C-alpha cells in the first residue's frame, strides 16, 4: 500500500490516505521546518537517554545520533527535500534518518510522542528568541547610553500633551528609553526562566511506562527541570504567550520612540538628523528625506500585538490536552520574533547613527514659557506663598509675557512686581533653562549630575 492510498505515519488505523485538501490543511512543514535544529537537538538528547536507561542498545543510539547530525547538515546546507506528505518537521527528519541509517531509525520514537516532541522543540526555539531579544535590547540600550553621555547637559523641551512643559536634558530623555528597555529585558528574562522546563518524556499526554530519565534529557537540553505534570507539559503554550506579551510591550516602546524620531527629524522641529542609511527620498520631491525606518518600526507593533491576540484566541477554548488547533501556535510567534528582532536592529542603527541638533534643542527648550514652574517654585520657596497662590501669580505673569510677545525672563522686574511686589531680582536666577535643569537634583531628575550618575550605573550593569 503506497502513501497515496494509506499514510504510513498513522499505521493500520486508516485504510485511505488524505486527499490533497486535507493534506494541505494538515501539513505544517511549510513553517515548522524552522524547528529543525531544535528537533534534532531534542532527538539526540532523547536517544542518549534511551541508551543510558537500557531502553535502546548503544549501537542503535550511536547510529541514530550520528545519522541525525547528517540530516541536520543536509538541512543547514539547503539540500534537504521537505515533503508535505510527511506533515511536519518531526516526520520529515525521521523519514530521512531511516534512509540514512536504516532500521534503527524506527526505534528513535520509543517513549515519546509528537505531542511532547513539538512542545520541546517549540520551547527550545522560543527560549533562543528570548535570548536574542535580550541581546538586541542590550545593544540598543548601549547606543542610547552613548547618546545620553554625549548630551548629558544639553537642554531641550520636555513635553506633556506634546506641549512644552519644562526644560529637560537630552541625556535625560535618552535615559528614559534605557529604563523602558531595561524593563523589557527583564520581562524576557522572567519569561525565559519560567519556560525553562522540559516537556520531553510526557509522551502523548500521560507519561510512559518505559523507565526513562526525564531529568537527564532536561539537563542535556539546558532546562532547569522536567515539567511536573504530563498533561500540562503537552498542552501548555504559556511560554509562547509570555514571549509575545513581552514582545508586544517592547514593540510599543519602540513605536513610541519611533514616533518621536519622526517628529524630531521634521523640518518643523529639527531636533535630530537621521543618517541616510535609515532614510529614503521621494520619487517626485527632491528635497525630501523621509524617516521610513522609524515609520516602519512605529507600525511593527500591529503585527506583534496581532500575533499575541491570535495565539490567545487559539488557546482560549481548548480542553486538555493536545488539539490540532495548537498547530496554529507557531506562525504567529515566528513572525512576531522576526519582526521584533528587525525592529530592534533598525532602531539600534538609527540611534547609533543619528545626530542631535544641540542648537535647535536649546532654542526650543526656552519656548512656551517652559520655566513657569521654576518661577512658581521660587515664589513658594523664597516668599513662602501657598503653591496655589504661586500658581495664580505665575499664570498672570505668563499671560503678561504672552501679550507682550516675550518669554518670562524678558519681563522686567517692575512688570513682575506689578503682579506681586515681593518678587526680587533673584527671580531671574531660576528662569534660564540651564538653571532650571540644574536645579532638578532629586533622584531620577533631569539635572546633568543625576543623568551622569544614571549613565554610570547602567554602564556598569550592562554586559
In contact, 340 and 251? CB cutoff 8 Å: yes
- Please identify which residue in the block is written with the cell numbers 516675550: 406
Grid cell digits, residue 27: 501539513
> Quick one: which H or E segment has residue 197?
strand 197-198
Residue 420 catalytic? no
CB atoms within 10 A of CB 388: 10
* Residue (of 88, 46, 82, 86) closest to 64 by Cα position: 46
DSSP assignment of 94-153, as one string? HHHHHHHH-GGGGGTTTT--HHHHHHHHHHHHHHHHHHHHHHHHHHHHHHHHHHHHHTTT
Residue 4: DSSP 8-state: T
Residue 266: C-alpha distances to residues 260, 261, 280, 351 (Å): 10, 9, 13, 16
Query: Which residues, at least 6 apart from 461, have a Cβ–Cβ distance to it below 8 Å?
Result: none
Helix (H, G, I), strand (E, B) or coil at 251: helix
- Omega into 321 within 30° of 0, i.e. cis? yes
Grid cell digits, residue 212: 526513562
DSSP assignment of 232-243, as one string? HHHH--HHHHHH
How many H helices and E strands in the chain? 19, 6
In contact, 113 and 135? CB cutoff 8 Å: no
Grid cell digits, residue 410: 524678558
Considering only CA atoms, give the Rg of the chain: 31
Rounded to whole angstroms, the Cα distance separating 263 from 293 reads 13
Residue 276: C-alpha distances to residues 281, 352, 354, 413 (Å): 9, 13, 10, 49
> Which listed residue (59, 83, 282, 367) is catalytic?
282
* Residue (of 180, 190, 217) closest to 202 by Cα position: 217
Judged on CB neighbours under 10 Å (0-12, 13-18, 19+), 414 is: exposed
Residue 282 catalytic? yes
Rounded to whole angstroms, the Cα distance separating 41 from 239 reads 19
Active site residues: 161, 282
Amino acid at each position: 500500500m503506497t502513501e497515496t492510498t494509506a499514510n504510513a505515519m498513522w499505521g493500520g488505523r486508516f485504510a485511505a490516505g488524505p486527499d490533497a485538501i486535507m493534506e494541505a490543511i494538515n501539513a505544517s512543514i511549510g513553517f515548522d521546518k524552522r524547528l529543525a535544529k531544535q528537533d534534532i537537538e531534542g532527538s539526540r538528547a532523547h536517544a542518549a537517554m534511551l541508551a543510558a536507561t537500557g531502553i535502546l542498545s548503544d549501537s542503535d543510539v550511536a547510529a541514530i545520533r550520528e545519522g541525525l547530525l547528517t540530516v541536520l547538515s543536509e538541512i543547514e546546507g539547503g539540500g534537504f527535500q521537505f515533503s508535505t506528505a510527511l506533515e511536519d518537521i518531526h516526520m520529515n527528519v525521521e523519514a530521512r534518518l531511516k534512509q540514512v541509517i536504516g532500521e534503527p531509525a524506527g526505534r528513535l520514537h520509543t517513549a515519546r510522542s509528537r505531542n511532547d516532541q513539538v512542545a520541546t522543540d517549540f520551547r527550545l526555539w522560543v527560549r533562543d528568541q528570548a535570548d536574542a531579544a535580550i541581546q538586541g535590547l542590550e545593544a540598543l540600550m548601549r547606543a542610547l547610553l552613548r547618546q545620553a553621555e554625549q548630551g548629558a547637559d544639553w537642554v531641550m523641551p520636555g513635553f506633556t500633551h506634546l506641549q512644552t512643559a519644562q526644560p529637560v536634558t537630552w541625556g535625560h530623555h535618552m535615559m528614559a528609553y534605557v529604563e523602558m528597555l531595561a524593563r523589557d529585558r527583564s520581562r524576557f528574562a522572567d519569561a525565559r526562566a519560567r519556560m525553562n522546563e522540559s516537556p520531553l518524556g510526557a509522551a502523548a499526554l500521560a507519561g510512559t511506562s518505559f523507565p526513562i530519565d526525564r531529568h537527564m534529557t532536561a539537563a542535556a537540553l539546558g532546562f532547569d527541570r522536567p515539567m511536573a505534570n504530563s498533561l500540562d507539559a503537552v498542552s501548555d503554550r504559556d511560554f509562547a504567550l509570555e514571549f509575545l506579551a513581552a514582545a508586544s510591550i517592547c514593540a510599543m516602546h519602540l513605536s513610541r520612540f519611533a514616533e518621536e524620531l519622526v517628529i524630531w527629524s521634521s523640518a518643523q522641529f529639527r531636533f535630530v538628523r537621521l543618517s541616510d542609511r535609515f532614510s529614503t527620498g521621494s520619487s517626485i520631491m527632491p528635497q525630501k528625506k523621509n524617516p521610513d525606518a522609524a515609520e516602519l518600526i512605529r507600525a511593527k507593533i500591529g503585527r506583534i500585538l496581532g500575533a499575541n491576540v491570535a495565539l490567545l484566541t487559539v488557546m482560549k477554548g481548548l480542553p486538555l490536552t493536545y488539539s490540532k488547533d495548537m498547530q496554529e501556535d507557531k506562525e504567529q510567534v515566528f513572525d512576531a520574533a522576526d519582526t521584533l528582532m528587525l525592529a530592534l536592529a533598525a532602531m539600534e542603527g538609527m540611534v547609533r547613527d543619528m545626530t542631535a541638533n544641540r542648537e535647535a534643542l536649546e532654542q526650543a527648550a526656552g519656548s512656551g514659557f517652559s520655566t513657569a514652574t521654576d518661577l512658581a517654585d521660587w515664589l513658594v520657596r523664597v516668599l513662602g506663598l501657598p503653591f496655589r497662590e504661586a500658581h495664580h501669580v505665575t499664570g498672570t505673569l505668563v499671560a503678561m509675557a504672552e501679550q507682550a510677545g516675550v518669554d518670562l525672563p524678558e519681563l522686567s522686574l517692575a512688570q513682575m512686581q506689578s503682579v506681586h511686589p515681593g518678587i526680587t531680582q533673584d527671580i531671574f536666577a531660576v528662569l534660564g533653562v540651564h538653571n532650571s535643569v540644574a536645579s532638578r537634583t532629586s533622584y531620577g531628575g533631569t539635572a546633568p549630575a543625576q543623568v551622569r550618575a544614571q549613565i554610570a550605573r547602567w554602564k556598569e550593569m550592562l554586559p
